[in-house]
Amino acid sequence: MDRPDMSIRALPVTPILEVRNLTTSFRGSKGWSPVVRDLSFHIAPRETLAVVGESGSGKSVTALSVMRLLNPRSARIEGEILFGGTSLPGLSDSQIRGYRGREMSMIFQDASLNPVYDVGFQLMETLRIKRGLTQRDAKREAVQLLEKVRIPSAKKRLDDFPHELSGGMRQRVAIAMALACKPQLLIADEPTTALDVTIQAQIVELIKQLQDEERMSVMFITHDMGVVAEIADRTAVMYRGDLVETGRTADVFAAPRQPYTRALLASIPRLGSMNGTDLPQPFALIDHRSGEPVAAAEAEVAAPPASAAPRLSVKDVSVRFDVRGGLLGGVTGRVHAVEDVSFDIAPGETLSLVGESGSGKSTTARAIMGLNRVRQGRITMGDLVAAGEGQAPRSALCDRLQMIFQDPFASLDPRMRVGDLLAEPLRVHGTAQGEALRTRVGELLRDVGLSPEMAARFPHQFSGGQRQRIAIARALALDPELVVADEAVSALDVSVKAQIINLMMEIQRARGLSYLFISHDMAVVERISHRVAVMYLGRIVEIGPRRAVFENPGHAYTRQLMSAVPVPDPARRHLRRGLAVDEIRSPVRPLGYQPPPTRMIELSPGHFVLDEGDAAQPQAKGRPADLAKA
Amino acid sequence: MPVDLADPFAAEPQERARPVRDFAREYVRSPGAVLGFAVLLAIVLAAVFAPLLTPQNPYDLMQLDIMDGQLPPGESSMAYGFNYLLGTDEQGRDIYSAILYGLRISLGVGVVSAVSAALVGATLGLFAAYKGGRIEAAIMRLVDLQLSFPTILMALMILALLGKGVANVVLALVLVEWATFARTARGVGMVESRKEYIEASYVLGIPAWRIMLRHLLPNCIPPLIVIATVQVARAISLEATLSFLGVGVPITEPSLGLLISNGYQFMFSGLYWMSVYPGIALLITIVAINLVGDRMRDVLNPRKDA
Amino acid sequence: MFASILKRLIQAVFVVLCMTVIVFIGMNLIGNPIDLLISPQATQAERERLIVEFGLDQPVWTQYLHFLDGLLHLDLGRSYIFNEPALKVILTRLPATLELAVMATLIAVVVGIPLGLYAGLRPHSPVSRVIMSSSILGFSLPTFWVGMMFIMIFSVKLGWLPSSGRGETVQMLGADWSFLTLDGLKHMLLPAINLALFKTSLILRLTRAGVAEVLPQDYVRLAHAKGLSARRVTMVHVLKNVMIPVVTVVGLEFGSVIAFSVVTETIFAWPGMGKLIIDSINNLDRPVIVAYLMIIVLLFVTINLLVDIIYTLLDPRVRFASGRAA
């Protein structure tokens, strides 16, 4: 996309939005405490400012302060906010209402449409009230707005309720609603965070195009440095309520001035940064206070010996869920969550399963752990059957096969002390007792970078990253051969994410552990994997050594997935023109559906691609609602 | 190795968890609830030590003097000399003594039935939540069926079949109230058992019974305690209503409800004390329990910060 | 949608069948069915004749089928006391109970919903605190005791309102109604308020809880971000979301109001079904009890069915799903 020439912006222009010394405080049990401190920034006409930061940085609160959407009872705003020269804090409630929706609009993380009104009502409401249109004009205009955000068959969508639309479509409707009065400023608060990466790419692209068409300014709030690099003219980096650094996006990325920014950038996985290498490699992290490199082992994780017998073997596995409906609650269809999936994992090897929502990657992981029933096929762990016919009891498997879950706030029992959590499996399986047990718990904590004294604490006294360390320690307690990590770093902030990944690699090196690493994040997968399997609609469409898959993707979907990943490098800003309005397809199939046989073609040694022949893509182009309607 | 170099929360280690103390600190921020608790405590103590606090055993017919019948509050006993603080009923029973003894029946019936219903209901509810499938469907069908008919009607019918009696009243109350607990327990249990820590326990090879008792149950307790508190109040109220309608406890062991009912026939002839004072005692008891329950709900509700 | 209603209907029939079994078991297996079905005043010859007539010498399942057969022909036996078909005895009392229950529900809705909305929207105002404290009182006070106090204060001491009976009634649709005359309304006021008290508190608290749940939702924030007035956000975006569960509960609780009218009718000598059932229990008039139970079962199942349909119509999220989760 052609951006306006930078020289135009160099001219002194009155900013659309100017924030000076903004301090926002929340009322707590100990009086007012600032969440955003002494913040100053501005946004020029037609400019995109990205506000980036990790959780707790105050970036969303900043946006809500500008819109004055915080409850005055519990939040206090100090400082100056000028919108086109008018001071917003001085306005009355009805005056600020005139600005909202008309001069400045906002979209949120999860489109947040009212569930009990249809799309048309919510769009037309804005048009009627804010622009004074008649019902008839509003309807015509609503259709045009939906077309503007590239929603296919816009007219029909007016009668749809939010839950009938996919997440990407809902976000498009929200954008259409925000554009209803041609605002001068669009504030987008993490608008793509809840979306799949291919959908995220579409929405980011849409916002960029609309900004051009509508000649508006955008304040884009995100935690994703990749998205920032894609979209922003200038970037403001926030950390714990302070503005750390602001500048032209290219400058911030090329020459970050502050240690925190450097640390943040160092911890971001960049797709393509591993080109030319074969083995997983830890991040070279930087301390966010000193700006110095963190002394961490940067050794690669060695490849497993070629001759080794596989530890885990997944053979022709299918998992299906019944969709019930109709008069008698009978089975009307099936979700073919996992279809004919096979792979092996060698000792000391990391295999990643990567794919978007509905691809079946987590279901595969859960099937291996016995949390989902296997319909067909068999999963073996050495001489034991982990799932399928002749399944071994859980107690026999749990010292070979363990799991780390996604949400570190849900995966630890909140009512047990960390020490008890780690000791429980050891005690139940009679592995250790008494003093030996306590020593073992201490060792486990030390292995994951925590101190043994922390055993006396409860999970809620730890941060997300620390909790995930505890979850790893628990998975290691029974000294397993293979650990399944199901989106284990997805819920963590980038800098913490990098640390946990480094920790996982370090443990792998020390113990010769194997990982099955489930993730939707291509860049993280690139870092950690020896081999990669790409899943789409329940099938593995491509599998092979990481280097082969990433450098020579053989399947169209793999290529699509890779090109959708935002690259945290403004110099390599994607030049995408086509605006596909793709949906993640639904794996719901009618009863009696016979999946085509799985044939893999070997592109290079160990690198296979699914041969789809004529029966290329499934016909059903489903929306989530189809599941409910079925 | 350095821990969490840019973790936004790492630098602020939280203080040690003291769930009970936190609860108490939050609870006392509502003066009404503190008052409710104090009153409830006083009532329970008065009921427990009723024999020590009353001049007369109202159930012992030998101690009653028919000559002292229908005395207004403040009159003294002809035979024994003590003061009838709140008057007497038609048989010369001291209303004050009868109230304290009646409280024992009312509180006893309320607590025993609510606790029994909680045990039965919570066990079935949690079991349903953990097991799922047909077992869950069967239990929840039964709960739905039960809950779609009002408690008072169910209790009335059960007692019409079984006849009067303290044990029968308790049985009837348990039969009508287990479903509330089952539904709550199942709801909470569903939420909890879908959380990853339950799956993590399964993956670690921890036996099912241990997962249910050590992990699921403790995390489902707070909402159940709140429901149990409220149900004690409801049970007391229901027992009083049933006794008032004449199908509850027998006349030999009058609860507060029966005292009110007995006094009712004299109320219009101006002998208000026989009915009004037990009524006030009943009212204060129920309000106190509900104040406590309401505050507990507020404090334990995880959404209170939202 | 049609399939979903049909499914509900089938479930409703199933529930009714279940209840016939329970009532049948209650009558025949707990306690002595001969005592239950035959008037204690009957002579020995009469007893034996009746045992054969009622089929008590038959196996249990034959008796059950016989019972069902009677139900289908609307034959529920004759009342011992009134010596009329039990069903007829109940049905003549039904209008009195219905009008009382409707009036009480109306009061509860008209008072409870606005107060609940206010308390939810202004949770920290002193008025809201008073409302919430009063609501605790409202659901703590036992209905029968409040009824007694009402009579004592408003009828006995102040003499403002009558304490018993239905007052003047007017015939409409073949039944007597009190709500059409001023005197009837006067008679209805105290019992209706009495009956409404508990439900008012319930609806009030439910509404407030609903508001508290809806207000922090993102769609409310979005409505503000669109620049809508606070009034419109409340009346359009908050209200509908709050009202869906409240309407459902009001519907379901209507059944419970009818049940609790047992207490109120007894105190205010209101000649409805509730008073009848208490009298019948005390008089051991079993056919009337059975008839009452079956009518109540039908009534409740119908109410539940209607509420389900209304809920489906109100909430688009359910409208498209095959059925509501229990």
Tens of pLDDT, residue by residue over B269-293, are 777 787 888 888 888 999 899 888 8
Alpha-carbon distance of C20 to C56, in angstroms, equals 17
- Contacts of residue C228 in chain A, CB cutoff 8 Å? 97, 101, 125, 129
Q: What is the pLDDT of residue B4?
A: 37
Alpha-carbon distance of A195 to C281, in angstroms, equals 64
Instruction: Give the residue numbers in C contacting B (CB under 8 Å), as ranges.
Output: 15, 18, 26, 30-31, 133, 136-137, 139-145, 148-149, 152, 156, 213, 216, 252, 255-256, 259-260, 262-263, 266, 277-278, 281-282, 289, 293, 296-297, 300-301, 304, 326
More confident residue, B28 or C110: C110
Alpha helix positions (H), B163-306: 166-193, 196-203, 208-210, 217-244, 256-267, 273-300
Using 50 as the pLDDT threshold, list the residues of chain A that sit under it.
1-10, 577, 614-630
Instruction: Report CB contact under 8 Å: A54, B8.
Output: yes
Alpha-carbon distance of C242 to B202, in angstroms, equals 39
* Distance from the Cα of residue A201 to its chain's centroid: 13
Interchain CB contact of A627 with C (< 8 Å): no
Q: What is the pLDDT of residue B301?
A: 63
- Contacts of residue B37 in chain C, CB cutoff 8 Å? none
Q: Given CA atoms A412, A413, A418, A419 in this order, what sign does their dihedral have?
A: negative
Q: Hey, which chains touch C, using 3+ CB pairs under 8 Å?
A: A, B
Instruction: Report CB contact under 8 Å: C320, A117.
Output: no
Q: What is the pLDDT of residue B3?
A: 34
In a mutational test of the A interface, the residue from B25, B203, B216, B217 whose CB has the highest number of chain A CBs within 10 Å is B203
Instruction: Report CB contact under 8 Å: B161, C26.
Output: yes
Question: What are the respective helix, strand and coil percentages of chain B, to the nearest 5?
Answer: 70, 0, 25
- Contacts of residue A110 in chain C, CB cutoff 8 Å? 218
Kindly report the pTM of this predicted structure.
Answer: 0.80
Q: Given CA atoms A453, A457, A461, A466 in this order, what sign does their dihedral have?
A: positive
Alpha-carbon distance of B207 to A501, in angstroms, equals 31
* CA distances (Å), origin C286, targets B172, C36, C48, C52, C270: 20, 6, 18, 18, 21
The one-letter amino acid at B191: V
- Contacts of residue C1 in chain A, CB cutoff 8 Å? none
Q: Rounded to 10 degrees, what is the CA torsion of C3, C4, C7, C13?
A: -120
* A401-430 CB burial, b ≥16 within 10 A, e <16: bbbbbbbbbbbbbbbbbbbbbbbbbbebbe
Q: Measured between CA atoms, how close is A74 to chain C, in angstroms? A: 12
- 3-class DSSP assignment, residue B137: helix
* B105-115 CB burial, b ≥16 within 10 A, e <16: bbbbbbbbbbe
Interchain CB contact of A539 with B (< 8 Å): no
Using 50 as the pLDDT threshold, list the residues of chain C that sit under it.
321-326
Instruction: Report CB contact under 8 Å: C3, A327.
Output: yes
Q: What is the pLDDT of residue C113?
A: 93
Q: What is the pLDDT of residue A247?
A: 92
Q: What is the pLDDT of residue A617?
A: 44
Q: What is the DSSP string of C63-121?
A: HHHHHHHHHHTT---B-TTT-SBHHHHHHHHHHHHHHHHHHHHHHHHHHHHHHHHHHHH
Alpha-carbon distance of B229 to B210, in angstroms, equals 27
Q: What is the largest CA-CA distance in chain B?
A: 89
| Interface TM-score (ipTM) > 0.95 | no
* Distance from the Cα of residue A230 to its chain's centroid: 16
Q: Measured between CA atoms, how close is B116 to chain A, in angstroms? A: 25
- 3-class DSSP assignment, residue C227: coil
Q: Measured between CA atoms, how close is C314 to chain B, in angstroms? A: 21
Confidence of residue B7 (pLDDT cuts 50, 70, 90): very low
CB A251 within 8 A of CB A520: no
Q: Would strands A531-536 and A350-354 be described as parallel, antiparallel, or unpaired?
A: parallel
Instruction: Report CB contact under 8 Å: C281, B160.
Output: yes
Average per-residue pLDDT in chain B? 79
Question: Which tokens hold the place of B264?
Answer: 């009712």
